[in-house]
Chains A and B, each alone.
Chain A
């Protein structure tokens, strides 16, 4: 396998982007990433996306390549529910490391504000088991709520401890010009917010987001396209059941553990070496379990640690300096690409929000309720 480097990143502001069409939103990120990579064109593009069927558009690789002057390149769409961005990165990485291509552009794109919210919410629940879960009308928030109640009961976690996560994420996003929710909140904001699916409240949950992100991956031969190339030192993916019923343990995401182990082993680094990470906090409960499975906390202890002030700028590791899915936003199929772009910028020193720096960074992107997880380790 050949080494793979990031030489270009491009992000769009996350939010309600009804002002632009899917192709134009994608183009904004693609053009920025190509400019960051010395205006070099890729030989292939891989598009991460979950629900473009909501805007009645599939065949996204062709659409985006054609719209951005890349007609004739190779490409396809990769899907892994909310982990589609991670899946696209895994495919893009493989295309370069295998030697098939030297320059691959990975694009994440999602537009969730085109259709009425009930349509979008139903679409997001397609990440679950259609035959055995959707048939009862449960939403994606509801599935996470089942895990949240089980976890809080089992580990004696308080409502207030859980609420600290959202407060911290809003503090971080306040500085991020790409973030959707750039306002600080208090514990009371979280605890008194409306119940969506008990015990999940509005502020335990990420917002609905539109957004696009792009990353240029290249082989050694092209690493000089950027003055500060960042090495993709390790990448790992793992799958678990899409249904919750057949999970061995309801308070664990085994796929998150496996994908982290695979990425760290490949990068030959220890979890203690990680300076900064962007983790998949679609709900505060997902942040808690992710932190534990990655190995930043013991089981059942993550909320206590973050309530005590851990994981903030100045700590090691710093978690989600972007504001995370909670406050940067969660443009589903683009999220995994955002996270890796943000970590690359942290290591390069040019992230436009909270700068935390470091040598080793990690990004973790989840599809479903922990059923499709990609973890990426980056090194300056």
Chain B
């Protein structure tokens, strides 16, 4: 189980989605690092990542780790956000609707309580509404065709 200290330390990153950008080679990294994974430079700045991206890969966990049982089936994806990749939970979507390449956007949601019983908020990703709507339109078209 996580602690309130961890959530407090990560509060900006978990809400604002910040990564690090190397001022020497340009590599953008998430999670943020103290030095660039590519060139080793410590000349990094913290940047906010885009809040919209697409699913690169995903999994559906019937058995999440202890403490997250309430979220089963838990959908976790790795999402391409600009130049970075972010691992996060998908929400507002059924497991069978998730697709690789699906457009998703960041949203702030509650997650499992900490050891101290605090309910923290983190970034999760939900399908981009436009896409959902256009999907419904396409379905409707298919039905009337």
Size range of the chain A interface in the assembly = 35 or more
Q: Which residue of A lies closest to B9 (CB)?
A: A131
Does A153 touch B at the CB level, under 8 Å? yes
Residue in B56, B63, B77, B89 whose Cβ sees the most chain A Cβ within 10 Å: B63
Question: A248 vs B29: C-alpha distance in the bound complex, in angstroms?
Answer: 10
A72 within 8 A of B: no
Contact B31 A136 (CB under 8 A): no
Chain B residues at the A interface, C-beta cutoff of 8 Å? 2, 6, 10, 13-14, 29-31, 33, 37-38, 56-68, 71, 74, 76-78, 84-89, 95, 100, 111-112, 122
> Given contacts A135-B14, A196-B63, A246-B31, are A149 and B57 in contact (CB under 8 A)?
yes
CA separation between A188 and B37, bound complex, in Å? 42
Q: What residue of chain A has the Cβ atom nearest to residue B78's Cβ?
A: A146
Contact A197 B33, beta carbon cutoff 8 Å: no
By beta carbon, the residue of chain A nearest B33 is: A246
Quick one: closest A residue to B120, CB to CB?
A135
Knowing that A122-B65, A137-B111, A196-B63 touch, tell me 20 more A-B residue pairs with CB under 8 angstroms: A118-B65, A130-B2, A131-B6, A131-B31, A132-B13, A132-B31, A135-B6, A135-B122, A136-B88, A137-B112, A146-B59, A149-B57, A150-B78, A195-B60, A198-B60, A245-B84, A246-B84, A247-B85, A250-B78, A250-B85
CB–CB B85/A246 < 8 A: yes
In the assembled complex, the CB of B122 is this many whole angstroms from the nearest CB of chain A, namely 7
Any B CB within 8 A of the CB of A133: yes
Residue of A nearest to B123 (CB): A136
With a 10 A CB-CB cut-off, give which of B56, B74, B87 has the most chain A CB atoms: B87
A contacts, CB < 8 Å to B: 118-119, 121-122, 125, 129-139, 141-142, 145-147, 149-150, 153, 194-200, 241, 243-248, 250
A-B contacts, 30 listed (Cβ < 8 Å):
A119-B66, A122-B65, A131-B31, A132-B13, A132-B30, A132-B87, A135-B10, A136-B68, A136-B74, A136-B88, A137-B61, A137-B67, A137-B68, A138-B61, A138-B87, A139-B61, A142-B76, A146-B58, A153-B100, A195-B60, A195-B62, A199-B59, A243-B31, A243-B87, A245-B78, A245-B85, A245-B86, A246-B30, A246-B85, A248-B38
